Every structure is written in structure tokens, then in C-alpha cells.
A and B are shown apart, each in its own frame.
Chain A
Amino acid sequence: MPLLHRLVRNESPAISFLIDGEPCEGRAGDTVLTAVLCHVERLRDSEFSGAPRAGFCQMGACQDCWVQLAGGERLRACTTELVEGMHIITRRGRGRG
């Protein structure tokens, strides 16, 4: 079950994106964090213990929500707007360049 539940913008324009290869839909106005956590329960695994992480402060301070895209790019999920076609990888080790 997803971590976040949408209360509004359910009818907003859909934005197609991918999580670990799976096609998903977000809504215009979503941050990457919102879009991903409306589908799954985690954003990434922590580097050292492998424990799941899903953000914390939602305001770009705690730096917990850094995710990787399929091409290796990194972005901070809570302060990045979801863009059509984004491919977020949640199941991977550390940053791989």
C-alpha cells in the first residue's frame, strides 16, 4: 500500500513516468516524492544498512529523499517537480554515476 494518499488533484492532468521499469501515473503539480510514494512504500534503500527510506522533512533539508534516475542522474525528490517520462530507480545500490 502506498505511503501517501491523494486528497486533491485527482482529476489533474496525468503525467506518465516509471518506477523501476513499471509505468505509473502522477498528476500535474506532483513532486517526485509525492508521485512515487502515491504508488510504492519507499524511495530508496540506505547506503549502509540497506534499510528502506522514504523521505522525512519534505522541505529539502534532511536530504533523505535523494533518488536516482535510470540514466544515473540524482535529484532530491521532495523539491523536484515530476516531469513526463521520468524513470526513477528505487531498487539499486549507491550512486553509480
Chain B
Amino acid sequence: MAERAPPLIVGAGPAGIRAAMTLVAAGLRPIVVDESHACGGQIYRQPLAADGRGAKARYGSEAAKATRLHRDFAALGTGIDYLPNSLLWNLRDGAADILRDGVSRRVSYDGLVLATGATDRVLPIPGWTLPGVFTLGGAQIALKAQGCAIGRRVVFAGSGPLLYLVAWQYMKAGVEVAAVLDAAPLAAKLNLLRALPLAPGIVLRGLRMAAELTLCGTRVVFGADRISIEGEGRVARIVYRNGGREHAIACDGVGYGLNLRPETQAADLAGCAFRFDPRDRAHLPVRDASGRSSVAGVYLAGDGARIAGADAAEAAGERAALALLQDRGLSHDSRRAAALERALAKIDRLRDVLEAAFPCPSHWTPEIADDMLLCRCEEITSGEALRAIRDFSLTEINRLKAVTRIGMGRCQGRMCGAAAAELLAARTHRDISAVGRLRAQAPIKPIPLATSQSVDERQHDPAH
């Protein structure tokens, strides 16, 4: 009887780490592929070199979780086939293409856990391509992993819990945080009262952060509207409307983001069915409570399937691995599985509240000016998009992409996809769920033409 190929885990963040541990504990030896040099994903990202800061300084209140995950993953040792600094750029039917150091290998797998994580979600605002503007996640990585501040006098803008967290982290690091511009009105924050019974610690921590920022001299603005960034060659000021007036704040760095968006390209290539999710305002791969996708043998865990945070990612990674074990006919702890599902359901209710408290200002996009850059990579303006929608009677987002090039650049729609959908929906007077989703195409990220091919010795299926 032929030996089964090993399971493949994509991503070594909290979800991938827990999935790996669970599979190893059951006697399997999964392949774990990750783009980074070290485990932890983005939230528990490890620096390239020691910088004199301990876990507390780097990860704050989550230090214990980060340390435990890093240590537990390292303890797996050769119990896993660990492929760091490796890009999974394509996959299909039990074979994955993984690139490292200029060589692409075809790797066979039997069982796939996608723990691909998330990036910041953004909608275009004037000046968003100026040097000195980073996403909230980007500003956080600069500080946490590289020990740098994105400016000396920084403004943070957008929406989401990350907005306050990063601003507070910068303040604690001694950087002047001139303002926090929250796109959501203050009234939205009243929703946090509903979160108190679910996660009092998170709510109180958030309130304390906002208070400390204010005490430190940060101007905290709720309901900031018509945000635009100005400067000649780099950020010089940020302008916004509030209380019926326009305001301008001088600054040399801006952190901007509107919560997060899942990285679903691998799920798409794996053939997973997608469904529109009103909470994330995006098409997401269909997943049941156990983490099973619509494709047998493919499991989804963490923010790569739906935004729910790092704690949910840990639980979902473990739960998905248990589902994989069950489907493989191996013994698994069904009581543990049920407990994980209960924990995930509770976090899910919390996320509903957080989305209400930190809503995405989707009303911005229909109001954007014609000359605003919608697609950063291809430098396509919203005016060009609107003209194409009119001239070609466009109603679907992949057609918009084909005709305008929006989403055809290097980032393949990561930064512009949300805005393109909002614009198309608004212009054609339909709900955003009706305009379709950008289809993922290989390579998941750009790969060099000079990539050479190699054949995995452990290839199990010669049919490819």
C-alpha cells in the first residue's frame, strides 16, 4: 500500500502553529511552509536579530502568548518538515508549488490546513501613496520587528481596534502621536458596552489606551471624515473634516488602516467555495464550525479565513487539525473539539460587537474624487474606473479588472479590491455582495522569471 503524503500547513502564525502541534501529537509529520524566517505570523512576529527588547516590550499584554507559541513551535523540532523563507505560489489537487532561494519545488500533500493570515484593509484616500504613509499593521511592524518609528510626529487614522493599539504602542515608545482620527462616530463605541460581559479585559484595556493617549496630548477625533494626506514627496500633514469644519495636522508619518482583510488566495486556488460575509464585507471561503472547507481534505483556520484575532486563530488551528485527524480516521479528542468550538463561538460574538464599534467607512468610496488613485500598482484612478463602468456597462468586478487593469498589478488586488467592489456596487446601485469577487490567480505573489524547477523526491503522485 502506498504511503500517504503528509499534511501541509500553510502559515506559521498562531493558527498554523497550533495545527502543527496538534498533528504532531497525533503522530503525523506535517509540512509547515511559511514566508517568514521565523514563526509567529504578523501579530507575534519575531525580529531578524536581537534588539535588546524582551517579549514584554515587544508584545505587551500578549507577551506570554507569544513566548509560549514560539517555544512550543521550536519544540516540535524535526517532528515537522519546516520550510521557512518559502513562498507557496500555487497549489492544486494535492500538489503545492513552493519557492525558496530561487528554486521551486512541487510538494505532494494529503490534507491541507490553510492558516494564511491577513493584511490591513484599506480604501483609497488622497495621498495614500505618499512616502511616510504606512498601514496600521505596517507601522506596528516597523516598531515591533524593526524597532523603528514611522515618523517623529505621527498621526494614526482609520478604524478598528488596531488603530488605538498601534497609536498607544507608539506613545509608549516615546514617539509623539499628534492625533488618532477614528472614522467611526463616538456613538459606535457605545457598542463596546455589549462586549463587557464577553471580554471585559479587552474593553477596559481599550478604554485605558484611549485615555492614556488623550492624557499624553494626542487629539482623539471620532467621526473623522474626508481624510486626506498631503505633502510634497512625503507626508507633511493630514487633513480631515469633523464637526462641520476642516482641520489640518502637521505630521511626518501616517499609519492608516480599516481593520483587516483575509488572505484567501490559497483557498481560492484549492477550489474552495466562497460566500459573501457581511461582517467582513468580503467574499470569504465557506467554512463550518470545525474549520472544514467545501473541499474534502482542505481546512481553514485563523484570520486567513475570517478576521477573528489571534486567540481565535490558535483555537481554530487546533480545531481544524482535529477535523483533519478525524477525516483521516485517526483518533482525536472530540471533547476538546467541542470546547474549542464553544470558545470560537464566544469570540465570534465579540467580533460582531467589535465590528459595530469599529465600523468600516464604506460610504467613503462613492464620494472619492475622480483623480484619486484607486489601484496603487497600476496607478488607475477612480475616474478611469467610473468611465469604464459607464462605457462598457460593467457590473462585475472581474470584468472591471479586465478592462481597467485594476487588480492586475503586483499586489493582484490586495490593496484595491475592496475599493473596486465598493465603487462598482455604488455606481451600479447594487449591494456589494452582488458585484462578485476577484478570482485568485497563480502566482500568489510575484516570482522571478529565473526560478528554476526541482522535483521533490517524496512526490507521491506522478500524474502531475
Query: A and B: real partners?
Result: yes
- Residue B288 lies at the interface, judged by CB distance under 8 Å to chain A: no
> How far is the CB of B36 from the nearest CB of chain A, in Å?
8
| Interfacial chain B residues near A64, Cβ < 8 Å | 129, 376-377, 411
- Residue B367 lies at the interface, judged by CB distance under 8 Å to chain A: no
- Residue B291 lies at the interface, judged by CB distance under 8 Å to chain A: no
Q: Given the known A-B contacts A48-B379, A59-B138, A61-B119, are A6 and B131 also in contact in the complex, defined by CB atoms under 8 Å? A: no
Which residue of chain B is the closest to A47 with respect to CB atoms? B379
- Residue B314 lies at the interface, judged by CB distance under 8 Å to chain A: no
| Interfacial chain A residues near B175, Cβ < 8 Å | 7
Which residue of chain A is the closest to B148 with respect to CB atoms? A4
Q: Given the known A-B contacts A63-B445, A64-B376, are A56 and B133 also in contact in the complex, defined by CB atoms under 8 Å? A: yes
| Interfacial chain B residues near A52, Cβ < 8 Å | 130-131, 233-234
CA distance A82 to B182 in the complex (A): 35
Which residue of chain B is the closest to A8 with respect to CB atoms? B147
Q: Given the known A-B contacts A56-B415, A59-B138, A61-B263, are A8 and B52 also in contact in the complex, defined by CB atoms under 8 Å? A: yes
Is the pair A3, B150 in contact by a Cβ cutoff of 8 Å? yes
- Residue B203 lies at the interface, judged by CB distance under 8 Å to chain A: no
- Residue A31 lies at the interface, judged by CB distance under 8 Å to chain B: yes
| Interfacial chain B residues near A38, Cβ < 8 Å | 148
Is the pair B174, A7 in contact by a Cβ cutoff of 8 Å? yes
Is the pair A48, B378 in contact by a Cβ cutoff of 8 Å? yes
| Interfacial chain A residues near B377, Cβ < 8 Å | 63-64
Is the pair A3, B138 in contact by a Cβ cutoff of 8 Å? no
| Interfacial chain B residues near A74, Cβ < 8 Å | 448
- Interface on chain A toward B: helix, strand, loop, or mixed SS? loop
Is the pair B42, A59 in contact by a Cβ cutoff of 8 Å? yes
Which residue of chain B is the closest to A54 with respect to CB atoms? B131
Is the pair B414, A49 in contact by a Cβ cutoff of 8 Å? no
- Residue A34 lies at the interface, judged by CB distance under 8 Å to chain B: yes
Within 8 A of B (CB), among A15-64: 28-31, 34, 38, 41-43, 46-49, 51-64
- Residue A92 lies at the interface, judged by CB distance under 8 Å to chain B: no
> How far is the CB of A79 from the nearest CB of chain B, in Å?
7
| Interfacial chain B residues near A3, Cβ < 8 Å | 131-132, 150-151, 234, 252-253
CA distance A2 to B253 in the complex (A): 11
CA distance A70 to B148 in the complex (A): 26
- Residue B167 lies at the interface, judged by CB distance under 8 Å to chain A: no
Write the residues of chain A forming the contact surface with B, with a CB cutoff of 8 angstroms.
Answer: 1, 3-9, 12, 28-31, 34, 38, 41-43, 46-49, 51-64, 66, 74, 78-79, 81
Closest 4 CB pairs of A and B: A29-B49, A54-B131, A63-B410, A58-B138
The 13 sampled A-B contact pairs (Cβ below 8 Å) are: A3-B252, A5-B149, A5-B151, A6-B147, A28-B49, A41-B234, A46-B379, A48-B379, A52-B130, A54-B234, A61-B119, A61-B414, A62-B414
